Amino acid sequence: RIAIGLLGVLSSTLGIWLWNYAVAGLGPGGAGLYINLIPPYTVALAILFLGESLMTFHIIGIAVIGAGLYLAIFDRR
């Protein structure tokens, strides 16, 4: 139980620290775009470590996120 608690606390602390570092380096607008990549990373980690299957809705969701990021970053109309 202690190990699980430490993993939770340490990973949360490290995650917040890295996010603050990214915001400082990229600015809030630039870093805010990448928060949308959490679901694709979660899918990838679930497939790698939990043995989950890649389903059609995963692919569609990742494609929509990718299209949204592409439009936000490269489409400057």
pTM, two decimal places: 0.71
What is the pLDDT at residue 43?
93
Cα 1–chain centre separation: 27
State the burial class of residue 44 (Cβ atoms within 10 Å of its Cβ: 0-12, 13-18, 19+).
middle
What is the pLDDT at residue 63?
97
Give the C-alpha separation, 44 to 47, whole Å. Answer: 5
Statement: residue 1 has pLDDT above 80: no
Statement: residue 72 has pLDDT above 80: yes
What is the pLDDT at residue 55?
96
